[in-house]
Structure 1
Amino acid sequence: MLLDRNGIAPDPWTHSDGAAVGNIAQALVPWQALPEALACRAPGQQLGVVLPNDLGLAEIEAILPELSLIAVGFPAFSDGRGFSLARQLRRAGFTGRLRASGPLIVDQFAYALFCGFDEVELPAANAGRQPAEQWQQALRQIGPRYQRGYGGGNILDQRRAARLTPAAG
């Protein structure tokens, strides 16, 4: 199941092993197959990669402009390295789709979006235990925050703006 801010989302990406990306409009390949997929890519084809969450930014930074989607793998919901990698990718200038892929839990959805992810891809077992309605409800439960993230201001910025705005009177 693929979820974004609006609920269940269609997934136009086709998983490939890397060698067979030729006629796939939007091919998603594992990190190990990326060099081969880049070499075999057709003009205008969109390419995505599934990254392990322990990959360093330096290993991928040079090819960020070549990618339309980066799916960061989460081997377990308790392994939060993917959240850090998402922040690093956004700070490095990646503007494509950023997907968290793995057994995340509802409580991590708002934080995943806050770190820069656009969507979360859940294994079938997790999707069965926590339906889309629970994920959407979790988004509504998180209020203003102090940290700066993606997709909105924070409490401190709101207070600063209020102080700088002249009072109507």
Structure 2
Amino acid sequence: MPLLDRHGAKTEIWTRSEGAAIDNISHALVDWAALPEALAQKTRDQRIGVVIPNTVRIPQLKLLMRQLSLIAISFPSFGDGRGFSLARLIRNHGFTGTLRASGPLIADQFAYAIACGFDEVELPEASAARQPVEQWVNALGQISHGYQRGYGDSGNILDRRRSARLKHVAAG
């Protein structure tokens, strides 16, 4: 599956593991169900990543986050936004590793994914064929301000409007 970040196409360094079999894999990506066993087998030099459903609760994940280098949140469809909320919660709870959105997202969601804390997006082949990498990178620059507080670093539209109104009143 194609992988991209804010700069474009990216080379995959993670190897998906069947179950918890992580022998001789430097960057092992396991499913949520296999994570406890994989962590028990982990050697000092290995990096462990996990693919989680977008229904995982933070208390279930929080105790394991320090042991993970990558968390990939599955998106069953582009219309299911629970993964965006989960990404924000994961970042708010201190996860500093790589956060990946995995599933059939669309380019219009790329800026929001980055603002929610995702570092990269992994697309199914069919999604990548419909919207090439250049379209994703261009879409990233199309949205300069969001409506929600706490997403991105440019401030939100409502706070900017309020600030402009106060400056106008103070000047007038």
Deviation of 1:60 after TM superposition, in Å, equals 0.7
TM-score, with length taken from structure 1: 0.89
2:15 counterpart of 1:14 = yes
1:32 maps to 2:30: no
SS of residue in 2 equivalent to 1:136: helix
Moved more, 69-78 or 137-146: 137-146
- Count of matched residue positions in the alignment of Structure 1 and Structure 2: 162
- Identify the residue that residue 64 of structure 1 maps to in structure 2: 65
Q: Are the equivalent residues in 1 in contact too, given 2:27–2:49 (CA < 8 A)?
A: yes
Please say if residues 31 and 50 of structure 2, whose CA atoms lie closer than 8 Å, have aligned partners that are also in contact. yes
Distance 1:36 1:150 in 2: 35
Q: Please list the CA deviations of residues 16-61 of structure 1 after superposition, one character each: whole Å capped at 9, or x if unmatched.
A: 0243212101000000000110011111210000000011111110
| Equivalence for 1:102 | 103
Q: Helix, strand or coil: the match of 1:34?
A: helix
The residue aligned with 1:133 is: 134
- Per-residue CA deviation, residues 128-156 of structure 1 (Å, 9 max, x unaligned), is 11000100110111112343345523154
**Which residue matches 1:75?**
76
- The CA deviation at 1:119 is 0.4
Check whether the contact 1:69–1:97 (CA below 8 A) recurs between aligned residues: yes
What's the counterpart of residue 167 of structure 1?
Answer: none
Cα RMSD (Å) of the superposition?
1.9
The one-letter code of the counterpart of 1:49 is V
Q: Which runs of 5+ in 2 are unaligned?
A: 167-172
Q: Distance in 2 between matches of 1:74 and 1:145?
A: 22
Change (3 A) 1:129 1:141: same
> Is the Cα contact below 8 Å between 2:116 and 2:152 reproduced in 1?
no
Instruction: Write the distance in 1 (CA, Å) between the matches of 2:21 and 2:107.
Output: 35
Native 8 Å contact 1:116 1:149 kept in 2: no
SS in 1 for 2:153: coil
Instruction: Quote the Cα distance in structure 1 between the aligned partners of 2:41 and 2:95.
Output: 22
TM-score normalised per structure 2: 0.88
Question: Do the aligned partners of 2:144 and 2:154 also contact (CA within 8 Å) in 1?
Answer: no
Counterpart check, 1:92 vs 2:61: no
What is the match of residue 4 of structure 2? 3
Instruction: List runs of 5+ in structure 1 lacking aligned partners.
Output: 164-169
Identity of aligned residues (%): 59
